[in-house]
A and B are shown apart, each in its own frame.
Chain A
Amino acid sequence: MVEKKDNTEEQLRKKNKQLALVLGLVACLFYGLFVFMHTING
């Protein structure tokens, strides 16, 4: 029972980290694209 709970918590933690990573990458992408777009424009 305890093991099962730990497993669910571990899965949730993994899911949270994955979502955070994706959202963080999206933010970095916006930043990078913006600077890159204006760099090649200039």
Chain B
Amino acid sequence: MSTLAHDDHHDHKPTGLKRWFFSTNHKDIGTLYLIFALIMFFVGGAMAMIIRAELFQPGLQFVDPQFYNSMVTVHALVMIFGAVMPAGVGLANWMIPLMVGAPDMALPRMNNMSFWILPFAFALLLSTLFMEGGGPAGGWTMYPPLVLQLGNGFPYLIFAVHFLGISSIMGAINIIATVFNMRAPGMTLMQMPLFVWTWIITSFLLIASMPVLAGAVTMLLTDKYFGTSFFDAAGGGDPVLFQHIFWFFGHPEVYILALPAFGIVSQIIPTFSRKPLFGYASMVYATASIAILSFFVWAHHMFTVGLPIKGELFFMYATMLIAVPTGVKVFNWMATMWRGSMTFETPMLFAIAFVILFTIGGFSGLMLGITPVDFQYHDTYFVVAHFHYVLLTGAIFALMGAAYYWLPKWTGNMYDERLGKIHFWLSLISSNVLFFPQHFLGLAGMPRRIPDYSIQFADFNMISSVGGFAYGISQLLFIYIVIKCVMGGKKAKAVSWEGAKGLEWHVPSPAPFHTFETPPKLTKQMLEH
């Protein structure tokens, strides 16, 4: 079975630095993306540690307010554009060709360029922290006029965002071309694994929304240096216009981060439940519905700027509507597990935690989507708690689950299951200690993006910081587990998990450098998912 995709005599690969700098191999580029994402996860995490250290008790302890605000801003940009998105693209690079039976990505050289733009973009962004005027400190949303006060770092920020956008768009184009043109003969769209579906839909979101962000930051640039006044009220412009444009990108961006996580969980849960995914077609339609609706809800991020009442009602109801397809997904995952022969290996633990904690994040999102309620919660720690439940215990938990799920396929070795489970439980407990109290802080009125706070918020902040440090330290265990797995361990079989289905499990573990050089002849068994 495992020989179908591979001939050992042809598995020659380049060596040395050349292999990585000039790589056009989807597996190598996937690995590069994943390593880069992991490094950025720790860079962004270090910034989060500074934030939590400063907030450990009231008063100013370690950093000045300007630097604190830079940490808040750059932490977000690094985590969103440097950690979660590249990790998702890394998984897509590694797994999509294997899942659809393609020999590589459709445009391998563009794939190389998409990746190598990233380190340069982040060099630009992070270099601003050492410039006169410091790094960007007005929040990742880059609202004018505040962002225009940034010193020498401003053009670096704008060009970094442009480069990140270009990289993402090129990655998205590659994924679409691969799935549409390179599928194994006989594999219809509705036979693709759900992970591939979520990435196709995410790619269209990227192509539609990234240029809008690029447009918005170009207008910021011309406002600052070329005398235009798109967002300058004194020149006839409107700063609220930026918020509309930004969130027209920003809300689909939330789903760019979340949809691949949905895809991952939809692979893991059936495997460890030993049942096919419940409601496959409804999952595809729900994903597409979420993506389409995401373009009609942007103003729920700006209820408090003073929108017309009809606008507020429209955006409130549209936001509520997203709960329907999201609910379909959650119920389908539960129905997949229902009466399954479940086992609880580390990927499954992360997937189950994802379903529960992402749903908590979804519910707090619904609360924020109710206009009059948002007037109370807007710009408080409740919002911080909400999006960290969605992005950390949501997206990052799914990505961690994916890493454990596919590590045997990537490395040929099983990871240390006992350590994996310890990593999971430490992450689960610490992330909830970190973020759950922030709901209470927000409800009590603690504003976000401040380095100091009133004494009544002290206890919950201290608890939150303890959770933050524990979460940060426990992620070091993940590095150890990955390195240990790469170095050796129990040999993984081609089908590394008893219940695993799909084409990627029909290639040996580790997956050879070249796979599917001749298109596979699909059998019914290969198309199961």
**Can you report 9 residue pairs joining A to B where beta carbons are below 8 Å apart?**
A19-B181, A20-B177, A23-B172, A23-B207, A27-B173, A30-B207, A30-B212, A35-B219, A38-B241
A17 in complex: contacting residue of B107, B182, B219, B230, CB < 8 Å: B107
Nearest CB in chain B: distance from A34 CB, A = 4
Q: Please, which residues of chain B bring their CB within 8 A of the CB of A20?
A: 106-107, 110, 173-174, 177
Cβ contact within 8 Å between B169 and A27: yes
Interface residues of A (CB under 8 A from B): 12, 15-17, 19-20, 23-24, 26-28, 30-31, 34-35, 38, 42
B207 in complex: contacting residue of A15, A26, A38, A42, CB < 8 Å: A26
Q: Please, which residues of chain A bring their CB within 8 A of the CB of B236?
A: 42
* Contact indicator per residue, chain B 220-235, by CB within 8 Å of chain A (1) or not (0): 0000000011100000
Name the 7 nearest CB pairs between A and B, nearest first: A31-B211, A34-B215, A30-B211, A16-B106, A23-B173, A35-B215, A16-B177
Q: Is B142 an interface residue, CB under 8 A from the partner?
A: no
- Known A-B contacts A23-B173, A26-B207, A42-B236; the reply to A15 vs B228 at CB < 8 A is no
Cβ contact within 8 Å between A38 and B219: yes
Cβ contact within 8 Å between B230 and A38: yes
Q: What is the bound-complex CA distance between A11 and B169, given in angstroms?
A: 24
- Known A-B contacts A19-B176, A19-B181, A35-B219; the reply to A28 vs B241 at CB < 8 A is no
Cβ contact within 8 Å between A27 and B106: no
Q: Is B180 an interface residue, CB under 8 A from the partner?
A: yes
Cβ contact within 8 Å between A16 and B211: no
Count how many chain B residues have C-beta atoms less than 8 Å from C-beta atoms of the other chain.
Answer: 29
* Complex interface residues of chain B between 228 and 250 (CB less than 8 A to chain A): 228-230, 236-237, 241, 245
* Contact indicator per residue, chain B 140-181, by CB within 8 Å of chain A (1) or not (0): 000000000000000000000000000001001110110011
Cβ contact within 8 Å between A27 and B211: yes
Q: What is the bound-complex CA distance between A18 and B84, given in angstroms?
A: 30
Q: Please, which residues of chain B bring their CB within 8 A of the CB of A28?
A: 211
Q: What is the bound-complex CA distance between A20 and B212, given in angstroms?
A: 19
Q: Is B24 an interface residue, CB under 8 A from the partner?
A: no
**Identity of the chain A residue whose Cβ is nearest the Cβ of B215 in the assembled complex:** A34
Nearest CB in chain B: distance from A1 CB, A = 12
Q: Is B118 an interface residue, CB under 8 A from the partner?
A: no
Q: Please, which residues of chain A bring their CB within 8 A of the CB of B228?
A: 42
Q: Please, which residues of chain B bring their CB within 8 A of the CB of A23?
A: 172-173, 176-177, 207
**Identity of the chain B residue whose Cβ is nearest the Cβ of A23 in the assembled complex:** B173
Cβ contact within 8 Å between A34 and B230: no
Q: Please, which residues of chain B bring their CB within 8 A of the CB of A31?
A: 211-212, 214-215, 218
Q: What is the bound-complex CA distance between A15 and B178, given in angstroms?
A: 11
Nearest CB in chain B: distance from A2 CB, A = 13
Interface residues of B (CB under 8 A from A): 106-107, 110, 169, 172-174, 176-177, 180-182, 207-208, 210-212, 214-216, 218-219, 228-230, 236-237, 241, 245
Q: Is the interface of A mostly helix, strand, loop or mixed?
A: helix
Cβ contact within 8 Å between A42 and B215: no
Cβ contact within 8 Å between B173 and A24: yes
Cβ contact within 8 Å between B211 and A15: no
Cβ contact within 8 Å between B169 and A42: no
B181 in complex: contacting residue of A16, A26, A38, CB < 8 Å: A16
Q: What is the bound-complex CA distance between A19 and B172, given in angstroms?
A: 12
Q: Please, which residues of chain A bring their CB within 8 A of the CB of B215?
A: 30-31, 34-35, 38
Nearest CB in chain A: distance from B477 CB, A = 40
Contacts beyond the supplied A31-B215, A42-B236: 12 A-B pairs with Cβ under 8 Å: A12-B182, A19-B181, A20-B107, A23-B173, A30-B215, A31-B214, A31-B218, A34-B215, A34-B245, A38-B215, A38-B245, A42-B237
**Identity of the chain B residue whose Cβ is nearest the Cβ of A20 in the assembled complex:** B173
**Identity of the chain A residue whose Cβ is nearest the Cβ of B207 in the assembled complex:** A27
Nearest CB in chain A: distance from B204 CB, A = 9
Q: What is the bound-complex CA distance between A26 and B207, given in angstroms?
A: 8
Q: What is the bound-complex CA distance between A12 and B103, given in angstroms?
A: 12
Q: What is the bound-complex CA distance between A20 and B228, given in angstroms?
A: 33
Q: What is the bound-complex CA distance between A31 and B181, given in angstroms?
A: 26
Nearest CB in chain B: distance from A11 CB, A = 10
Q: What is the bound-complex CA distance between A20 and B17, given in angstroms?
A: 29
Cβ contact within 8 Å between A19 and B212: no
Cβ contact within 8 Å between A19 and B169: no
Nearest CB in chain A: distance from B217 CB, A = 11
Q: Please, which residues of chain A bring their CB within 8 A of the CB of B211?
A: 27-28, 30-31, 34
Q: What is the bound-complex CA distance between A42 and B227, given in angstroms?
A: 12
Q: What is the bound-complex CA distance between A35 and B236, given in angstroms?
A: 16
Q: What is the bound-complex CA distance between A34 and B207, given in angstroms?
A: 14
Nearest CB in chain A: distance from B254 CB, A = 19
Nearest CB in chain A: distance from B211 CB, A = 4
Q: Please, which residues of chain A bring their CB within 8 A of the CB of B172?
A: 23
Q: Please, which residues of chain B bring their CB within 8 A of the CB of A42?
A: 228-230, 236-237
